[in-house]
Amino acid sequence: MRPTLRFLTDELINKIVDEARSLLASLGVEIHNDSVLSMLADHGARVDMEGHHAWLTDDIIDRALKTAPASFKLYDTLGNEAVNLAGYESNFTPGSTAINILDQDGKLSRRPVADDYVRYAKLMTGMHHIASQSTAMMPTDVHEKISDSYRLYLSLMFCEKPVITGTFTIEAFEIMKDLQLAVRGTAGELAAKPLTVFSACPTSPLKWSDVTSQNLVDCANWSIPVEYISMPLSGFMAPVTLVGSLIQHTAETLSGLAISQLTKPGAPVLYGGSPAVFDLRYETTPMGDVGTMMQDCAYNEIGKYLNLPTQAYIGLSDAKLLDAQAGLETSMGATLAVLAGINNISGPGMLDFESCFSLEKLVVDNEICGMTFRMAKGIEPRDDFPSQPLFEELIAEQHLLIADHTLRHLKDEVFFPGPSIDRANRSRWKEEGGRTLFKRANSEVDRIIAEYTPARLSDDVTAELTRLMETEARRHGMDKLPEVN
């Protein structure tokens, strides 16, 4: 039995969804994009072009729900299946787009450069419990107009895993799409084998900006999957009650779904989000708040109820260092997320309200992910009945170390974490240097990067990627991209 967690009854889900639908019909949504408004009007929505407003009827929401796929897959840069976003299958991806990186001393947070990004992408190849990469931070040694596309370029060049990403502007979509076309060859191939997911954020309450609504349209047209990232901030920009915030989240997400599906029926989407219970003492948006995590799991239940694959920003921490708080918030989130069956779990590696990324934390979090996957496999009877012969063997031999039963089931039953997790007795731990978690993780970072084997994209493709990126850089007055290897 797969252990699963639920916070909401079907009855409550129904009430929340009904309430959200009636908000969309009565209050409507603000959409600051004329072509999106006209498109909605063409499909029968009442719109007010001057007021940038649309009202979405039940009929529109029903049509959107009917055409949205219940699942889809992501494929790596070589075209192999890598991530299955379906049912209760959980997959991890690193937290996205940090402003800073935690330096190798474990204390200083500083601006990342291209070199840091490359180290990250190489490290990701060795993170076996994290199925996709994300564009985890913003390199600051390129022109700011290309810093969103440049992260995608580096990811595609150095790591084969599919990429969770997003654009900062309407214009950057073009190059970010072209890079993907260069990898896949044709638009048809890209649609058949999605390589990326773009995050698109509505603005709470009930609003879509020009940029993000256009992103939805552009992604739908190219069959690039999107994840809707609605962010109710409970107690500030959303009701303080979890149910009230869930109603807001549902309404915002359904409005995004309507834009995608009316643009192109069948466009792949994730029912996602990044809500936070606003901390009214510190003026912050804690991802490690227990109510934040409960909302993530709960809207995922709503997504499943609506028959859509899901996503959440959970399994990350607001701590500034790789300390006990980082461990507790990350593992609490990751555990809940996997128990809830969230399909795309964005979190590993992230600290400080999504502001700071740490390679060492990524290594530790990879172990947390591995542990949660073991947990999700549950407790299954194997060769356990009848048990008498095995116990006879144990009594006779006085151990089961080399029993057939042990050898047969060891790998399936036991999860062995990597060396960043301390399992030595005290004397051995001392003998091996008495190292802190950070030091152990740091050695792992160095080891994995040293053992990196280059991504296997063909020379033609990498040359084309580089040509595209250099052209884009020149457009913004940058003659040369940073030297990386």
Partner 1 sequence: MDILENISQSLQNGEPDTVAELTGKALDDGVPVKELLHKGLLSGMEVVGERFKAHEIFLPDVLLAAKAMYAGMEVLKPLMVGEEAATSGTVVIGTVQGDLHDIGKNLVGIMLRGAGFNVVDLGKDVPPERFIEEAQRTGARVIGMSALLTTTMPVMGLVVNLARERGLLGKVKIIVGGAPLSDEYAQQIGADAYCFDGMNAVDCVKGFLGIN
Q: Which positions touch ligand B12 (CB under 6 A)?
A: 96-99, 138, 166-168, 199-201, 203, 211-212, 231, 283, 285, 353-355
Exactly one of 11, 26, 50, 281 binds partner 1 (CB under 8 A); which one?
A: 281
Exactly one of 71, 355, 443, 462 binds partner 1 (CB under 8 A); which one?
A: 355
Choose from ligand B12, partner 1, none: what does 325 bind? Cβ within 5-8 Å by kind: none
> In sequence order, what DSSP letters do the residues of 96-109 get, joined into one string?
--BSEEE-TTSS-E
Nearer to partner 1, 150 or 271 (CB): 150
- Structure tokens, 377: 């496999």
Beta partners for 314? none
107 binds partner 1 (CB under 8 A): no
- Structure tokens, 131: 């199925």
Exactly one of 57, 84, 104, 203 binds partner 1 (CB under 8 A); which one?
A: 203
Choose from partner 1, ligand B12, none: what does 199 bind? Cβ within 5-8 Å by kind: ligand B12
Choose from ligand B12, partner 1, none: what does 145 bind? Cβ within 5-8 Å by kind: partner 1
CA dist., res. 177 & res. 195, Å (int): 10
| Rg of the chain over all Cα atoms, to the nearest angstrom | 23
Closest approach of Cβ 472 to partner 1, in Å? 14
Nearer to ligand B12, 201 or 445 (CB): 201
Say how many CA atoms lie within 13 Å of 470 toward its Cβ.
11
Closest approach of Cβ 43 to partner 1, in Å? 26
Q: Which of residues 441-460 bind partner 1 (CB under 8 A)?
A: none
CA dist., res. 360 & res. 372, Å (int): 19
Choose from partner 1, ligand B12, none: what does 307 bind? Cβ within 5-8 Å by kind: none
CA dist., res. 295 & res. 309, Å (int): 16
- Can you give the three-state secondary structure of 197-249, one letter per residue? EEEECCECCCEECHHHHHHHHHHHHCCCCEEECECCEECCCECCCHHHHHHHH
Specify burial of residue 71 (Cβ count, 10 A radius: 0-12, 13-18, 19+): middle
Stretch that binds partner 1, among 71-79, 183-191, 278-286, 378-386 (CB under 8 A): 278-286
Choose from ligand B12, partner 1, none: what does 96 bind? Cβ within 5-8 Å by kind: ligand B12
Nearer to partner 1, 282 or 385 (CB): 282
Closest approach of Cβ 411 to ligand B12, in Å? 37
CA dist., res. 353 & res. 115, Å (int): 23
* Residue from 205, 275, 246 nearest 28 by CA: 205
Exactly one of 66, 111, 382, 428 binds partner 1 (CB under 8 A); which one?
A: 111
* Residue from 284, 288, 296, 294 nearest 235 by CA: 284
> In sequence order, what DSSP letters do the residues of 291-314 get, joined into one string?
HHHHHHHHHHHHHHHTT--BEEE-
Closest approach of Cβ 82 to partner 1, in Å? 29
Nearer to partner 1, 233 or 362 (CB): 233
Which residue do the tokens 């929401």 mark? 61
Closest approach of Cβ 109 to ligand B12, in Å? 12
CA dist., res. 260 & res. 262, Å (int): 6
CA dist., res. 161 & res. 195, Å (int): 8
Q: Which of residues 119-158 bind partner 1 (CB under 8 A)?
A: 138, 140, 144-145, 147-148
Nearer to partner 1, 233 or 342 (CB): 233
Residues found in the chain: 485
Choose from partner 1, ligand B12, none: what does 144 bind? Cβ within 5-8 Å by kind: partner 1
211 binds partner 1 (CB under 8 A): yes
With residues binned 3-state (H G I as helix, E B as strand, rest as coil), the percentages for the chain, rounded to 5, are 45, 15, 40
237 binds partner 1 (CB under 8 A): yes
CA dist., res. 140 & res. 142, Å (int): 6
Choose from ligand B12, partner 1, none: what does 282 bind? Cβ within 5-8 Å by kind: partner 1
CA dist., res. 408 & res. 405, Å (int): 5
Choose from ligand B12, partner 1, none: what does 107 bind? Cβ within 5-8 Å by kind: none
Choose from partner 1, ligand B12, none: what does 280 bind? Cβ within 5-8 Å by kind: partner 1
Choose from ligand B12, partner 1, none: what does 200 bind? Cβ within 5-8 Å by kind: ligand B12
Q: Amino acid identity, residue 186?
A: T
Binding site for partner 1 (CB under 8 A): 99, 111, 138, 140, 144-145, 147-148, 168-169, 203, 209, 211, 233, 236-237, 280-283, 353, 355
